[in-house]
Structure 1
Amino acid sequence: MTSPNRLLHLAYWTGAIVDAAMVVLLLAPGAAGAMLGIDRFAPGPDYRYAAGLCAALMAGWTALLVWADREPVQRRGVLVLTVLPVLVGLFAAGCYAIGSGLVRLAYLAPTLAFQLGASALFLAAYRRARKLARTSGSPAGLDMVAGGQ
């Protein structure tokens, strides 16, 4: 028998694991450069500072997703917030990197595809959580952020 929350747990943990991996890439720019096909990537202090800020925020979002997983239906608003602004913002940044010539599409295509798939997963999980909340009488939580009631 499968848990009615299985899709929610999958979404939260997928996000948390990927975010944790991104923290490593942000703090190890050589690994990020290799992944993105940027030869001899040797960022200066300005990049390292910005990447450090991003890593801290990404680590915080990782913790937020793990926290939301503890009460997946009640904290379902985190799923929507993960799509917009987080995944939409990351997708836009990737498109900028391609458009500016920094990264070739071939290197970012898997990431962009993952972001689209993750968005679909998070939105499907949110829809499921809303349905579960209606049947269980769970409080609205962050549904107001997502336009729900």
Structure 2
Amino acid sequence: MNKKLPVTNCELHCGVRGVSYAGFSQHRSVLPDRNELRNPQRQLTSDRHAKTTKYATVELTNLKSFIMNGQNKNLFLIKIAYWLGIGADLLWAIVLLSPKLFGTMVGIPNYNPDIQTRLIMAIGGTLMTGWTFLLLWAVKEPIERRVVILITAFPVVFGLFIVALIGYLEGNTSNIWILVKTSILFIVMVTSYILARKMKMY
């Protein structure tokens, strides 16, 4: 004779409504619709986790955007120093290859040097032309080639500042603009190198 199994309320065991026949080796349940299987507390926790994950993703995206904008700004500032150096070197290359223009730039009217001085100036103009191309090469990779802007600041720009300062102290007051220009270039180039070094570290 078959023994009837006790009837229990499944809601007491798994949190859903239904009828369960419990036995030592048998367990059958009459379950409701699948949507009723969801535990409300578990679903609430899952929704909170999803919202937290979404919020964290948005914040991370905003942080990345902020960092990228900062890096783009720094890269722009770094390149400014290179282009200022390119402009200054190109200007001096032209001036050194043209004695009359050189005289106008340094405040010596009707400057007409002898052949030996012209040759020395031509050597300087050639070197300035080469340095212009060096900076043009470096500006393509301003972070990796940052050492170029550093050695442009010192000794090149710093040396020009000393020469202009000596001329100014000797009475050539027209050199004041060269002192101002080289001072600005030196500060901008050193700052550019520091920014490039920091960006390389990150």
TM-score normalised by L of structure 2: 0.62
Mapped pair 1:6 → 2:76: yes
Whether the 8 Å contact between 2:99 and 2:112 is mirrored in structure 1 is yes
> What residue in structure 1 maps to residue 186 of structure 2?
119
Q: Give CA-to-partner distance per residue, 1:92-134, whole Å, 9 cap, x none.
A: 1112223344xx22x1111111101111100111111011000
Letter in 2 for 1:6: F
**Alignment match of 2:129 (pick from 43, 55, 59):** 59
Whether the 8 Å contact between 2:168 and 2:176 is mirrored in structure 1 is no
Q: How far apart in 1 are the matches of 2:169 and 2:191?
A: 30
> What residue in structure 2 maps to residue 35 of structure 1?
105
Q: How far apart in 2 are the matches of 1:118 and 1:36?
A: 18
Choose 1 or 2 for highest CA Rg.
2
Letter in 2 for 1:99: L
Gaps of 5+ in 2: 1-68
Which is strand-richer, 1 or 2?
Answer: 2
Q: How far apart in 1 are the matches of 2:107 and 2:164?
A: 14
Mapped pair 1:97 → 2:164: no
Q: Percent identity?
A: 31
Instruction: Provide the aligned C-alpha RMSD in A.
Output: 1.4
Q: SS of the counterpart of 1:70?
A: coil
> What residue in structure 2 maps to residue 88 of structure 1?
158
> What residue in structure 1 maps to residue 175 of structure 2?
108
Gaps of 5+ in 1: 136-149
Q: SS of the counterpart of 1:19?
A: helix
Q: How far apart in 2 are the matches of 1:116 and 1:99?
A: 16
> What residue in structure 2 maps to residue 128 of structure 1?
195
| Larger RCO of the pair (alpha carbons < 8 Å, separation 6+) | 1
Letter in 2 for 1:114: K
Q: How far apart in 2 are the matches of 1:82 and 1:90?
A: 11
